[in-house]
Amino acid sequence: MYDIIIIGGGVVGCSIARWLSQYKLDIALLERSSDVCEGTSKANSGICHAGYDAKTGTLKAMLNVRGSKMMEALSKELGFGYRKCGSMVLCFDENDKDKLVELYDRGLKNGVEDLKILSGKEALGIEPNLSKDVVCALHAPTGAIVDPFTLTVAMAENAAINGVTFKLCHEVTGIQKESGHYRIHVTKHPSLTDHEQKEYDEEAKIVINAAGLYADKIHNMVSSAKISITPKRGEYMLLDTTAGSFVQRTIFQLPTAKGKGVLITPTTHGNLLVGPTALDIEDKEDIETTLEGLSEIKEKSVLSAPGVPLREVITSFSGLRAKLTERCDVINPDDLNKEGDFMIGEVPDAKGFIDVAGIESPGLSAAPAIAEYVSKIVEKMTDPPLKESFIPQRKVHIPFHNADNKTRLEYIKEDPLYGNIICRCCMVTEAEIVNAIKSPVGATTSDAIKRRTGAGMGRCQSGFCNPRVVEIISRALNVPQEAVCKNDTGSEFLVNGKEDK
């Protein structure tokens, strides 16, 4: 029996796992997909919000600001992409200035530092590509961008090094309350390295529900007070690195009666990202992009910057956010759960079951603080001792494409596979791909390699490198190339050429 089982391997679940791994607890994380970071965490804006948007007095506000302040130190400790580039909220109408002042005042109450309202001229002075129609802007120097992929993977790997067991392709299909613990029914799906499918039970004294879009399904297995999550789809356009310096900061538009705009932001990989749209849908797996959505992005983005180089789009994608449309009370140490807020706490009619539900924006920014907050709830339940052997750092190499020539030569001397460039767009080497496969919570799919190394993220979108990536995965894991998938089983790239009889 585990002390704790965490359900969900997104950025929140992995952050919780990493934070709790500092205690003497037996912990497992169950994730239904073939890798961590396969849900909301893989398709978002990559923004570390400063914290002026969330309503004062909510968990969103408190944990956003706290998480934002934690992120830079964590990036150095765990080695994920982070840059404090700042953000701006643009106002285009003199009649809307009061709304910008409201954001400013709210940010001060929430504890955001160094906020300033700029005139249109001042805004254009630091971001010359903005529209000349900008009359004023809220400038938040503490706003930042983060790599959501390596953030999630870094949390998972560090948790694994510190003793957390990660069980991928393990879907929770039922939960029963028993005396002093929970019995969790699991379906173990086939994976690249383990083709067996089976159903079995796990047991845990405490269950933490960090299942993202499916947190309602997991909650409703144990509680009579039902909740409901509606997916909100957001579509994006990703531009080439040649457009990455078009703006230096994350550029938002002030929401008005005409609706909420879209953002323009640099990414930690050097690209430019534009979007998202926001559409409530029913299907929790529907991540299609649409002509309507991409047209909306184009129409709204040029309001902020007429010259945004949309002709340099290299791909489009969409992600789903977990909007809590029906909630219930949970036992919350700070009694903060309010309408539209995160829902974090112990479920009253399911003692030992902790909900971490409705984690929509700014969930990525708040993830480290959410983990810290959940750990305090666990501490009150179990008072676990700290490990003397806890390792807070994650050892990482400087990526080959970022290293100077001297360092590159040292890498190649250490491992000749560093001299073999697999992804030409992003300068990713064979050694880096092999290391990603062999790492804790190692990659077994093409998408998992992409998230860890960047191979396939460039202009050709894996058109040249993916066949080689498939070969390397096949060789490193001793499996047929026909079995290698893009993500989950069923997304194989190749067929064996045998016709069904």
Could you list the active site residues? 49
- Which residue pairs from 57-61 have beta carbons closer than 8 angstroms and sit at least 24 positions apart in sequence? 57/336, 57/338, 58/336, 58/338, 58/340, 58/341, 58/342, 59/332, 59/334, 59/336, 59/337, 59/341, 59/342, 59/344, 59/373, 60/340, 60/341, 60/342, 60/362, 60/366, 61/110
> Is 66 within 8 Å of 369 (Cβ atoms)?
yes
C-alpha 373/C-alpha 139 separation (Å) is: 29
Interior CA angle at 62 toward 281 and 224, to 5°? 50
**Which residues contact residue 72 at a Cβ distance below 8 angstroms, ignoring those fewer than 6 apart?**
82, 84, 144
- Residue 339: name the closest of 1, 84, 58 by CA: 58
C-alpha 482/C-alpha 324 separation (Å) is: 40
What 8-state DSSP symbol labels residue 58? S
> Is 157 within 8 Å of 149 (Cβ atoms)?
no
What 8-state DSSP symbol labels residue 75? H
C-alpha 173/C-alpha 175 separation (Å) is: 7
C-alpha 354/C-alpha 181 separation (Å) is: 13
Q: Where would I find the H helices in 84-129?
A: 97-110, 120-126
Q: What is the SS3 assignment for 286-317?
A: CCCCCHHHHHHHHHHHHHHCCCCCHHHEEEEE
C-alpha 354/C-alpha 223 separation (Å) is: 11
> Is 482 within 8 Å of 195 (Cβ atoms)?
no
